[in-house]
């Protein structure tokens, strides 16, 4: 058994902006089941403080002359102990974890997450007298990047693992930030935290962690190539022998069509006929024409380039000429929101865009749709295609990252050998997207084949158990090697 400090800037159900929140909300529980003593470290944002109970102050400290309390509580719905870094000057404000209510990143993000990292380092080095010290510090994404770098300066320290959930977000700040944060001078060099004369939090994690993981095997390979690495392919290639890919699982308590209380009608692979009740319920909810036979394509996503909105918009006019309904739920870049809203005005009979973040509606869209659109330009793992598979909603995806690892194209051969569970684009173009949708629509007209694809999709094992075991094996290796 190892003691694991799992460090994340978000965790469902307390605070979530994307896939990292889902992972941090469920991997720690899965690690507990593998007999690891896990504590989850989170910033104490207002929503986190509001939604946790039985809080206890464990320690007090101060970083950059700002007072910090370390509060112990529990991740709701689990047995996982959470440790909250309560620094009101950094975290007690309205808006999101990284940006304000208008989507603008907080100006002091470097300071905010440096405080978070210092607290983690003090726990790791047993400076806060918690009576508990980790053997492993498992860091996630740039917000925790300084931790491996700062710990590397100590002889007696826990081993560190750094997981890349999305290399596109790096936490890069101007050079002066390095001095402003009083970071140790020996970290500032080309093989350290310096990134083209700037301070990079993610590079600090990648350069100094004992082990690096990406959230799918294919993404772990892709990020060795310039196209996917945002200038970090050199460093990652150099660290290749310490880099591996471990696929995310899904939280089957929250994402299970057989028990999902958000749905109009629960169903499973033996009662697939009931699935369409969710379609008519959603059509009613969103004021779309009610017709259980019309194929529905769903999408729940951040509205950003990564999720394929450029090729979707190029193809949208043609897509909406087809006999289908398209429903998109998302928030993000306003130019995408505006264009999608324009399309909705022109095609109210078969297109609905709901701008906003809505967990319940996300579940209903997954259950109601027949197909799920995810033509990402890159996808570290992707959770929505996994939820879609679980809900018998066949994903239409590009062959990148975790999408390539989990979706098997409905080619004639794969249908014959019953491995097919979705549709994979041959390239990232709008014409190929149209081809794939046409192919999906034509298979939809053959219910026996469609049902076989759905059953294969729903039978896939995407639980956390296998991934948690892989992480435990990696922890053991890291501990042995330091
Ligand atoms: P990413 O982390 O790149 O955003 P993932 O597919 O890994 O993509 O995870 C996205 C998670 O966020 C999923 O759980 C998805 O359902 C959720 N999500 C994204 N946008 C919304 C939204 N507008 N409303 C509700 N849930 C959303």
One domain for residues 309 and 184: no
Pairing of strands 81-86, 37-43: parallel
Q: Which atom of ligand 1 is nearest to the CA of 22?
A: 14
Q: Is residue 118 part of a domain?
A: yes
State in Å: Cα 376 to ligand 1 middle.
13
Pairing of strands 198-200, 172-173: antiparallel
The total number of structural domains in the chain stands at 2
pLDDT value for 102: 86
For 418, how many CA atoms within 13 A lie in the half-sphere containing its CB? Answer: 8
One domain for residues 213 and 360: no
Calpha distance 324→394 (Å, rounded): 15
Pairing of strands 194-195, 198-200: antiparallel
DSSP annotation of 254 reads T
State in Å: Cα 183 to ligand 1 middle.
34
One domain for residues 189 and 302: no
DSSP annotation of 262 reads T
Mean pLDDT of 95-118: 96
pLDDT tens, position by position, 247-284: 999 988 899 999 999 999 999 999 999 999 999 999 99
Ligand 1 pocket, CB under 6 A: 18-19, 22, 300-302, 329-331, 357-359, 362, 381-384
CA distances from 326 to 289, 369, 371, 405, 421 (A): 12, 9, 9, 26, 20
Q: Is residue 444 part of a domain?
A: yes
Mean pLDDT of 217-232: 97
pLDDT value for 103: 83
Q: Is residue 260 part of a domain?
A: no
One domain for residues 282 and 350: yes
Q: What is the CATH number of the domain that holds 16?
A: 3.40.50.2000
Q: Is residue 309 part of a domain?
A: yes
One domain for residues 126 and 157: yes
pLDDT value for 202: 98
Residue matched to tokens 């239409």: 396
DSSP bridge partners of 374: 397
Q: Which atom of ligand 1 is nearest to the CA of 306?
A: 3
What is the 3-state secondary structure of 204-234?
Answer: HHHHHCCEEEECCHHHHHHCCCHHHHCCCHH
One domain for residues 391 and 360: yes
8 A C-beta contact, residue 428 and residue 398: yes
pLDDT tens, position by position, 32-72: 999 999 999 999 999 999 999 999 999 999 999 999 999 99
State in Å: Cα 238 to ligand 1 middle.
32
One domain for residues 145 and 99: yes
One domain for residues 293 and 441: yes
Mutate to test the pocket of ligand 1, among 251, 376, 383 (most ligand atoms within 8 A of CB): 383
One domain for residues 344 and 419: yes
Range of the domain at 450: 272-459
Mean pLDDT of 422-433: 98
Mean pLDDT of 138-155: 98
For all residues of the chain together, what is the average pLDDT?
97
State in Å: Cα 91 to ligand 1 middle.
23
H-type alpha helices, 39-130:
46-50, 88-91, 109-124
One domain for residues 455 and 469: no
- Percent of the chain at pLDDT > 70 equals 100
One domain for residues 363 and 392: yes
Mean pLDDT of 445-463: 97
Query: Is residue 204 predicted with pLDDT exceeding 90?
Result: yes
Query: Is residue 168 predicted with pLDDT exceeding 90?
Result: yes
One domain for residues 433 and 294: yes
């Amino acid at each position: 058994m190892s003691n694991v400090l799992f460090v994340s800037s978000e965790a469902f159900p307390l605070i979530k902006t994307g896939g990292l929140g889902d992972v941090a909300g469920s991997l720690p529980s899965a690690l507990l089941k593998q007999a690891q003593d896990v504590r989850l470290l989170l910033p104490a944002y207002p929503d986190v403080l509001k939604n946790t109970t039985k809080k206890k102050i464990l320690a007090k400290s101060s970083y950059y002359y700002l007072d910090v309390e370390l509060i112990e509580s529990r991740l709701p719905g689990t047995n996982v102990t959470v440790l909250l870094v309560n620094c009101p000057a950094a975290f007690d404000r309205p808006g999101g974890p990284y940006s304000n209510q208008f989507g603008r990143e907080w100006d002091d993000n470097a300071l905010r997450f440096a405080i978070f990292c210092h607290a983690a380092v003090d726990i790791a080095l047993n400076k806060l007298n918690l009576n508990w010290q980790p053997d492993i510090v498992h860091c996630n994404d740039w917000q925790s990047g300084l931790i491996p770098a700062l710990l590397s300066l100590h002889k007696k320290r826990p081993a560190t693992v750094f997981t890349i959930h999305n290399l596109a977000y790096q936490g890069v700040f101007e050079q002066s930030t390095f001095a402003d944060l009083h970071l140790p001078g020996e970290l500032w060099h080309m093989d350290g935290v310096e990134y083209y004369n700037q301070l990079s939090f993610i590079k600090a994690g990648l350069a100094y962690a004992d082990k690096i993981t990406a959230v799918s095997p294919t993404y772990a390979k892709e990020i060795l190539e310039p196209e996917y690495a945002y200038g970090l392919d050199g460093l990652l290639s150099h660290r290749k022998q310490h880099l591996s890919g471990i696929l995310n699982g899904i939280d089957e308590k929250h994402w299970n069509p057989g028990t999902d209380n958000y749905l109009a009608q629960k169903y499973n692979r033996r009662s697939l006929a009931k699935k369409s009740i969710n379609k008519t319920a959603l059509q009613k909810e969103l004021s779309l024409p009610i017709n259980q036979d019309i194929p529905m394509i769903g999408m729940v996503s951040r509205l950003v380039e990564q999720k394929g909105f450029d090729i979707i918009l190029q193809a949208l006019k043609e897509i909406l000429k087809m006999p289908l309904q398209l429903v998109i739920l998302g928030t993000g870049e306003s130019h995408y929101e505006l264009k999608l809203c324009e399309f909705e005005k022109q095609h109210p009979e078969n297109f609905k865009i709901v701008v906003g973040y809505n967990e319940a509606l996300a579940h209903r869209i997954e259950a109601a749709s027949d197909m799920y659109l995810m033509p990402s330009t890159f996808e570290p793992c992707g959770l929505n295609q996994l939820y879609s598979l679980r809900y018998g909603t066949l994903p239409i995806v590009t062959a990148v990252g975790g999408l390539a690892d989990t979706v098997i194209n409905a080619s004639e051969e794969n249908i014959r050998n019953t491995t097919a569970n979705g549709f994979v684009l041959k390239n990232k173009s709008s014409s190929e997207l149209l081809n794939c949708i046409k192919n999906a629509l034509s298979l939809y007209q053959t219910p026996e084949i469609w049902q076989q694809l759905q059953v294969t999709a729903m039978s896939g094992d995407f639980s956390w158990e296998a991934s948690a075991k892989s992480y435990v094996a990696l922890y053991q290796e890291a501990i042995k090697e330091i």
